[in-house]
Amino acid sequence: MAVDTVGEVDFDRALDVPPLAESHLEGGVRTFDLTMQAGETDLGQGSMTPTWGINGTHLAPTLRAERGEDVQVRVSNGLDEASTLHWHGMHLPAQMDGGPHQMIAPGQTWTPHWRIDQPAASLWYHPHLHGQTARHVYQGLAGMFIIDDQDEAGLDLPRDYGVDDLPLIVQDKKFHDDATLDSSTSFMQSAGITGETVLVNGTPGPYFDVTTHTVRLRILNGSNTRPYNFAFEDDRAFALIGTDGGLLDAPVDLHEVQLSAGERAEIVVAFEPGEQVRLQSGPSDTGDRLAGGADHLDILQFRAGDHLGGVQQVPRELVEVPRIDESTAARTRDFDLSGVSINGQEMDMARIDEVITLGDTEIWNVTNLDGQTHNFHIHDVQFQILDIDGREPPPHLRGWKDTVWLPGGQHIRLIMTFTDYPSTQWPYMYHCHTLRHEDQGMMGQFLIVEPGQSTQPNDYHLQPDRGHGERDH
Ligand code: C2O
Ligand code: CU
Ligand code: CU
């Protein structure tokens, strides 16, 4: 019973574009103020839907900062329960990462600070508390974090935010008749909620008025579960210019791009004057029907004006993406995904699973032992894919990634370097980004330690009561 909404969506609301978050300099530090809050939002259900948002009732403003800048974010929790805010894809100290060890109690403010030190990219942010991430994200807590740098600025790419450069936060929802969010799943759906209503930036049935020849789309799969296979209704080609961690070395022409939960793609698509064309999602390679992998969905309609200006063509070369040399790897680790465990274990906030020596390059062998789909996300680093089931990755998977899709049975080798931020106290996470799996324990913790320190996980002890989240099965 695959879902098919093609032709059923009205496209009668202008696409909402999240505002750019205001910031100011405090002693040279770019400072943002974010407040998590509860409210009600019109999600097209006839009456208002209770939702959560940041500086608003649903979703969150887009943060934007430049490589080299010092930033701080004052995150205030105006909800009546504790939450966290995690900077997905960001290279930063573990203590600032906003994972389950950085809980923010109601009424409290948490102020992480760090230096932006990575290439231009489309990152995002969302809660990441122990056992409750799916619910907090589903209620509406998610936003984009765009990083700029000189290399990107030097390219002739569309970059007028909200005009020819659009964030697209794609999330599927299910509603009860009274317009409240439905988070129920059938007993078969172990991966969690899939809905038939696809919101883009929180807009149901969205259209966008195109005023330029080319438009850059920063697509985020911000859904709890559902993988998408994005394509245009006429199957037109578009240029993939970037993946999770930044731009590619050259654009790759594609007709479709698949994203599992948490992944991003930057694409540039060209329009003809006066045309209308829909962005859709078709069946994905997972074949995982219960996770929505067989569905056809209408997502967003583009309406081109009669006169289109802006950037005409994508540059043929983008940025340098040096390949990490396999022979430089200090060690290899195996991660077997099965059920809701990794290497046979479920998440324990007091247990360290892996200890990594600062400066090392490592190869991570990630294997999905199941028939169902999983994915794999690593905090702090951007990695490269060495091979997929023993074969070289296709061109669109050769750039920087922080989350990678593993359809059932797949084996992937990743390579990454741990360049900064040693700590014996504060761990980073790695996990499946299917949020229900993550909540149920499909996550582990790693420390980065100074050379010469023990790499035995048992030598390190965290305070078990530092996070206060409850488990939810
Ligand atoms: Cu987007 Cu550990 O998360
Ligand atoms: Cu993350
Ligand atoms: Cu999973």
pLDDT for residue 467 is more than 60? no
Per-residue confidence (pLDDT) for residue 289, from 0 to 100: 76
pLDDT bin (cut points 50, 70, 90) of residue 290 is confident
Alpha carbon distance 34, 63 (integer Å): 10
| Encoded tokens for 291 | 């996770």
Tell me the CA–centroid distance for residue 211 and ligand 2, in Å.
Answer: 34
- Ligand (nearest to CA of 440): 3
Nearest atom of ligand 1 to the alpha carbon of 438: 2
CB within 8 A of 201, min separation 6: which ones? 15, 16, 17, 18, 59, 167, 168, 169
- Ligand (nearest to CA of 262): 1
Residue ranges lining ligand 1, Cβ < 6 Å: 86, 88, 126, 128, 262, 377, 379, 429, 431, 433
**CB distance 130 to 469 below 8 Å:** yes
Tell me the CA–centroid distance for residue 143 and ligand 2, in Å.
Answer: 13
Report the percentage of the chain scoring pLDDT > 70: 97
Alpha carbon distance 143, 349 (integer Å): 26
| Residue with CA nearest ligand 1 atom 3 | 88
State the DSSP H helix or E strand holding residue 135, giving kind and residue range, or none if neither: helix 133-138
Per-residue confidence (pLDDT) for residue 184, from 0 to 100: 82
Q: For residue 423, which amino acid is it?
A: S
What would the mean pLDDT of 413-430 be, rounded to a whole number? Answer: 98
| Residues 125-154 pLDDT 10s | 999 999 999 999 999 999 999 999 999 999
Per-residue confidence (pLDDT) for residue 472, from 0 to 100: 34
Per-residue confidence (pLDDT) for residue 464, from 0 to 100: 58
- Ligand (nearest to CA of 137): 1
Per-residue confidence (pLDDT) for residue 107, from 0 to 100: 98
| Residues 227-286 pLDDT 10s | 999 999 999 999 999 999 999 999 999 999 999 999 999 999 999 999 999 999 999 887
Tell me the CA–centroid distance for residue 379 and ligand 1, in Å.
Answer: 7
Alpha carbon distance 245, 414 (integer Å): 14
| Residues 1-54 pLDDT 10s | 789 999 999 999 999 999 999 999 999 999 999 999 999 999 999 999 999 999
pLDDT bin (cut points 50, 70, 90) of residue 187 is low
Q: Which domains does the chain have, with CATH numbers?
A: 13-149 (2.60.40.420), 165-309 (2.60.40.420), 326-459 (2.60.40.420)
Q: Could you list which residues have their CB under 5 Å from ion ligand 2? A: 88, 379
Nearest atom of ligand 1 to the alpha carbon of 126: 1
| Residues 99-110 pLDDT 10s | 999 999 999 999
Per-residue confidence (pLDDT) for residue 461, from 0 to 100: 86
Count of helix runs (H) and strand runs (E) in the chain: 3, 33
| Residue with CA nearest ligand 1 atom 1 | 88
Alpha carbon distance 94, 110 (integer Å): 14
pLDDT for residue 469 is more than 60? no
Report the percentage of the chain scoring pLDDT > 90: 90
Per-residue confidence (pLDDT) for residue 130, from 0 to 100: 94
Pairing assessment for the beta strands 206-212 and 13-14 based on DSSP bridges:
parallel
